[in-house]
Amino acid sequence: MSTPPAPAASPATRPNLIWVFGDQHRAQALGYAGDPNVRTPNIDRLAATGVTFTASVAGTPLCCPFRGSLLSSRYPHHAVPGHEDRLPPELPTVATAFRDAGYRTAYFGKWHVDGFREREGRAAMHIVPPERRGGFDDWLGYENNNAQWDCWVHGGAGASAFHRRLPAYETDALTDLFIGYLHAQGSERREAQARGGTPGRREQEGVTRPFFAVLSVQPPHDPYVAPAEWMGRHTPGAIRLRPNVPDIAPIVDEARRELAGYYAMIENLDWNLGRVRDALEAAGLADDTLIVFFSDHGDMHGSHGQFRKTAPWEEAIRIPLIIGGARSAYTSKRGRLPVPANHVDIAPTSLGLCGVTPPSWMAGTDYSAHFVKGRTPPPVEPDSAYLQLCRPTRHGNSVDRPWRGVVTRDGWKYACLEGQPWLLFNLNEDPYELANHAHNTRYAQKRRQLQNRLAAWIADTGDSFALPEL
């Protein structure tokens, strides 16, 4: 499914690329998306000067499976099928592909694919061994943590191994560490330029190699708390709820209370993205560093009376996906792109942005031609995205049965439980999913058409699922 990018440049002339992403940040909760509750000037500016994927989804709206697919560009049933499952260490990752192309690689923050079970203790204290860190050259992170004011990170190996508590709120402290990495890259580049010498020698020294770096933070995942400066900007009573939140007092009260903290966390994340961009400027890296901003899934926050994730409704599956930065020769295109980009597509698209042909083991699509100068998108791209919950978590506020679904490029969504149609929406006329047509005979033909497309996804990806008889 991957499409070859333009002929590859040498490592010395390729752009750097960074991923910045949070956890449980739904696509609707952004200023440019029209949410009246939140101000996100830095994310909005990235979107305005780059490409925004307006139909991007988390094919599995759950942390571990999404992250396994993000790193490996394989669907969850071939990577991390369920919560607290381990990414098979033998699988190559996006870091493998970038390293093979001559890139330095670095990862900062939440990992959550090492298979640690919370019932065995606190995941924040679990040490991910070096051989299970995805092949990144530098890795400073943690398995999982649901206490943003008590975040522990570890890294190194052998005598250089360490495990320490971050000194501040998680997003701020991890961004500090990430900015330190960026400044180090900028300093090494300036030193190399001052020394002169041949490009080949500099590449051998590793000084001018481009880098791929990841900043992964837990917020705006619950618990919904942020530093006081941000919390003070939002009160539950002032929150404007989405039209699909039912007017039921306990649901409304919980949604308002949680959203006040949620929006504070998002605005703090936005501020930290601004800090990253300022650091790129200060380090002399802004002109040739691409930024990909996204999230691992959304959060229901009372829509349809539901909370958290693992559901196929829009608030859980829709994620921001923005490509921006790099004012130099790498990019020129901007605007909104209505393609159904999925979790498996982020890695091959990132490689394509850097002139690296995605390896054949990646299942996703390379959408980089929509962004990079001189490239023409292929005539045929996926008509839909595959949605799935392979294994329920059994957590509170979670769907407790497996399901499969499809969302199409022309705005239809269909989801099934095992042996049972469940949801059918025309998102073009019903963006808040208020009219479910899954059991309406008037839509029987469309239901069959979408189930056939879903069956093809199941077959094409080597999945197994008991579809209903129609």
Where exactly are the structural domains of the chain? Answer: 12-370, 401-460
The answer on pLDDT for 202 being more than 60 is no
H or E segment and range at residue 124 = none
The answer on pLDDT for 449 being more than 80 is yes
Distance between CA atoms of residues 295 and 379, nearest Å = 28
Average pLDDT over residues 186-214: 69
What are the backbone dihedrals phi and psi of residue 114, each rounded to the nearest 5 degrees, phi first?
Answer: -100, 0
Check whether domain 12-370 has CATH 3.40.50.300, yes or no? no
Distance of CA 259 to the CA centre of its chain: 20
Average pLDDT over residues 129-135: 97
User: If you write DSSP's letter for every residue of 209-220 in order, what string do you get?
Assistant: --EEEEEE--TT
CB 127 within 8 A of CB 163: yes
Q: Tell me: cis bond preceding 220? Omega within 30 of 0 counts.
A: yes
Q: What is the pLDDT of residue 205?
A: 47
Average pLDDT over residues 301-315: 97
Distance between CA atoms of residues 351 and 85, nearest Å = 26
Q: What is the pLDDT of residue 358?
A: 96
What are the backbone dihedrals phi and psi of residue 404, each rounded to the nearest 5 degrees, phi first?
Answer: -135, 155
pLDDT classification of 3: cutoffs 50, 70, 90 = very low
Q: Which residue has the higher pLDDT, 89 or 195?
A: 89
Asked which of 203-207, 214-218, 275-279, 400-404 is least confident by mean pLDDT, the reply is 203-207
The answer on pLDDT for 8 being more than 70 is no
The answer on pLDDT for 233 being more than 50 is yes
